[in-house]
Amino acid sequence: MLAFITVIVATNFDDETFNVSRTVKAYWRHTQSLPEIKNRDYMDIQIKKFKKIDDVTVTLASLNIFIGANNSGKSSFIQGIQFAISGCQTLNLKGGIWGKGTKTLSLDSSEYLYTPTNNIEYLYHGKRLTGSRTKNDRNWIEFILSDGNTSTLKISRGKNGGFTTSLSGRDLGEKLSDIEKPYCVYVPGIAGVPTQEKYEVTITVKKSATRGDSNNYLRNILYAISKDAEKWTSFKDSVNSIYTDIDVIAKFDEHKSEYIHVFVIDGKLELPLDSVGTGLLQVIQIFAYIEYFNPRVILLDEPDSHIHPTKQKLLAKELSRRATENPDLRIVFSTHSRYILDALEDKANVVHFQNGNIFQNVKGSNILLDIGAADADYLFSKKELKYVIVTEDKVDNIAEKKDFLKKFLIANGLSENEFVLHSYEGCTKVDFAKILQGFVRKQIPTVKVIVHIDRDQKVDSDREVRRLIEDCKKRGLIFFMTKFQEVESYFCTPLHIHKIYGIPLVEAQIKYQQFIDELADETKRKLANFILRERHELSFNGAGRQDIDIINNLATEWYEQFREELTPGKELLGKIKNFAQIELKDDPNKILNISDALISDDFKKLLVE
């Protein structure tokens, strides 16, 4: 019985026919056109059952940025692309022959030009790749690529213990299998190069593109392109767009030595290649690979790791220029740099990986690279930072919500320099906050993270509230739930009305109770809906069926116990604004101002615990 791995790449999809993997449709964000490629063909890469990836399709623009936390799937996807190309090229090297549009061989793990691990069976998603007794029971990993033509690579566990590797789709398959003109080049993060490097034959250097160890042949690559005046000039222009006034010299004399010598000149300083700083070395590597291999796809693994933030922006700009000028090139790189994101936000297809799924073509800076890439811009701008308040962003008018929360925090004694508000998306509240706290404390060890939620329709004994309290306690986080239905409700209290408009406190109390009463039916309706949809376990009768009488009785019980706390804040605020404008003849928006009536003893206690 065989178990298969398949890779699929596809292009030329228009907006009407564009589809994503069924398993990630819920995560997909697609606009009418990807950045700066309106007149270009699309390239699709689909990966199934490979490492962290269950089934994900990414449509490559000319420039693509993969972001996400560790173990989110972005490295799995990049490795999957390279592994697929490796399988195609290995079939070519081992003499695979096309028959009826398919090329198939049985290979050992050691025979592949590149594998992320020595044991291919451990690359299967979620479990070990094993054989099966029947074709219907086989497990596969699939890679599917398409650039107008579609080609599929399948790798399965064969009966003899090897891995049956099958390539279909000859038109594209021939390109994927070509070692002389590699379709894809993998550029790992570079930490250095060997102190010496022998001259190698071309095929050895070309194979390194697939193996991902081209840094071991960087001098060979530089020497080769130095003999082509056009390529050499293009290479140095790119390097100098980031590191100005840098010159590179490559020397080799087969009659005097078997070693290639490369020197980098910066002003009057001349250094051998192995003595150059890692930031400059990384830039040299990237653009040397682009010139030498001229691939259709280049994969860059965190190219910003050793580069100063100002240089990261210049690198981003130059990569964007390269992608724009070469319509056949697709640049894919993973990053943890806010500088890269900011520089390329409107020019690149940003793909956010999370738990093996994706958000594609992400817009805006709200995705924080799962915190790892939120690189401290906001931290270093606030030297007195004490608290990061994590708040929900899946609400209407999030900017308005944050403004209410900001005023509440200031009223409770925090200055704007002592806190920042961070919204979370996609992650669970506590997990997000814990990751954030770990990142922030690397920069400012004393910072505390507060997890904020609005009460909404939840009573203190609610299961989610109890869980959040316990989870935050275990993780050393501060948990804050508003006393009232939402943070806006603090601006509706009689004392705040009295402070802002100067009316007698008794009059404010009477009006407040009047508005609470007027909203009684709406409050109960929201409570009933909450029980019905989100706490349905509380709505069943003795026969195990949802009972509307039980729901309504429980909603009424909660309302009688917590009528002020559970009255919807936005609706209550609207009534107070109307009262100010119609009866007081005053500015209704004055109610949004800060007063000491916003002070919450419960919140202030959290700050000193």
* pLDDT single digits (tens) 534-580: 998 999 999 999 999 999 999 999 999 999 999 999 999 999 999 99
User: Over the stretch 382-407, which tens digit does the pLDDT of each residue have?
Assistant: 778 899 888 875 555 677 888 999 99
User: Over the stretch 216-239, which tens digit does the pLDDT of each residue have?
Assistant: 899 999 999 999 999 999 999 999
Work out the average pLDDT over 502-512: 97
Interatomic CA distance for residues 259 and 219, integer angstroms:
9
Token pair, residue 93, equals 């090297």
Burial class (CB in 10 A: 0-12, 13-18, 19+), 596: exposed
Q: Is the pTM of this model over 0.85?
A: no
Token pair, residue 273, equals 């290649």
- Relative to beta strand 387-392, strand 419-424 is parallel
Token pair, residue 223, equals 């020497």
DSSP 3-state of 298:
strand
Single-letter amino acid code for the residue at 222: L
Is the model's pLDDT at 425 over the cut of 90?
no
**Mean of all residue pLDDT scores within the chain:** 84
What does the pLDDT read at residue 22? 30
| 330-334: strand order across its sheet | 184-187, 297-301, 330-334, 63-67, 349-354, 357-359
pLDDT band of 64, cuts 50, 70, 90: very high
Token pair, residue 208, equals 């390194």
- For the chain, the distance separating the N- and C-terminal CA atoms, rounded to the nearest angstrom, is 61
User: Over the stretch 289-317, which tens digit does the pLDDT of each residue have?
Assistant: 999 999 999 998 888 877 888 899 999 99
| 261-266: strand order across its sheet | 246-251, 261-266, 269-272
The helix or strand, by DSSP H or E, that contains position 168, with its residue range, turns out to be: strand 163-168
In order of their start, the domains of the chain are: 1-183+295-373 (3.40.50.300), 192-293 (no CATH), 377-481 (3.40.50), 489-608 (no CATH)
Residue found under tokens 């007063």:
595
User: 330, 62 in Cβ contact below 8 A?
Assistant: yes
| DSSP string for 93-155 | HTT---BTTEEEEEE-GGGSS--SSS-GGGGBTTS-----SSGGG---EEEEEESSSEEEEEE
What does the pLDDT read at residue 175? 95
Interatomic CA distance for residues 214 and 286, integer angstroms:
11
Q: What is the DSSP letter of 569?
A: H
pLDDT band of 363, cuts 50, 70, 90: low
SS3 labels along 507-541? HHHHHHHHHHHHCHHHHHHHHHHHHHHHCHHHCEC
